[in-house]
Structure 1
């Protein structure tokens, strides 16, 4: 993961923790997420809650431990709490978000995020046979659509059970389901309770 220096506080931060702010005159400023939140809280007249751990760990249904980078971002719609899984010093795998109201107890919002992580990690949607053949478990699948910057594919990938799959791999898992109906539901998880 790349690192950048915050133009406000001078701290070195991971690139994913940086925000580019552009003012009305078009002047750009790269700042860390903490400085951005401080600026937003000041402008909006709200408390900039910072008393939280930046990492969270939880086990999945198979007993595998997952480590998440926790971050908060103050936005116009509320306070977004986000957990991104860290694998091999990169953010990939699971990603969870919750939206908190400005006047909500942020410790409670953070607990909602932790609950969402534990709940989703307790489910497995794909089963593996000998580590080579994958199939959909119990006829249900849930995941995230993700664009792959490093990939020259014009199709996004799917992140299911914290692992990345191609549409072709998903198609292979659907063999045997001919004549079945399906329902595809797309939603922004930030609004899901």
Structure 2
């Protein structure tokens, strides 16, 4: 595990309308209302605005990016985004590849007054636990399910005409068609599908 304060590759930056700093797009919140208009706020300015409106005392923590290894020893670089969501505090870990958001994502929640460092401890435990497992394997016919259990994240391809689901398994994107072909290995078997909140243990 190592932290780094300097990016290996530049990511596209979006300017915050409040402090005018440039941040990755996943740190921006489109905040406001139809009546008052909307502003693009970085996580720090967003948290300060939510705290002010909620009458809360809040100190924003900007966690440094971190790289963690998976079960095969490959490194995965994560950026952390802390957001105050009214009565709840959220901490997300977002994997970045090639200058963009891609791969694993993790999230934990706590009360609005939770200690961000406690959330980070919980988040790192979950990340290490999940990164130590793999569910896919390269088989004779291509990518396949290594056992009888698969865990991952539901997302989508916004450029797809039919807007079909895309799964992130083992930190890699798997199309709905690819996953369907993998499932045909188990034709005739029973299946159990459980969908959970991103912050829940799986």
SS of equivalent residue, structure 2 residue 124: helix
Q: 2:73 aligns with which of 44, 63, 67?
A: 63
Q: Is the 8 A contact 2:85 2:112 kept in 1?
A: no
Greater Cα shift, 104-113 or 14-23: 14-23
> Could you tell me which residue of structure 2 aligns to residue 101 of structure 1?
111
Unpaired segments ≥5 residues, structure 1: none
Q: Is the 8 A contact 2:152 2:168 kept in 1?
A: yes
Q: Report the Cα offset of residue 42 of structure 1.
A: 2.3
Q: 2:36 aligns with which of 19, 26, 48?
A: 26
| Residues 32/104 of structure 1: CA separation in 2 closer, same or farther (3 Å cut) | closer
Please say if 1:189 is aligned against 2:198: yes
Q: Is the 8 A contact 2:61 2:116 kept in 1?
A: no
Within-5 A mapping of 1:146-165: 146-165=155-174
RMSD value, Cα: 1.9
Query: Please, what TM-score do these two structures have when normalized by structure 1?
Result: 0.90
SS of equivalent residue, structure 1 residue 37: helix
Unpaired segments ≥5 residues, structure 2: 1-10
SS of equivalent residue, structure 2 residue 186: coil
Within-5 A mapping of 1:12-161: 12-23=22-33, 25-129=35-139, 133-161=142-170
- Which 4+ runs in 1 deviate beyond 6 A? none
Question: How many positions carry a matched residue from both structures?
Answer: 192
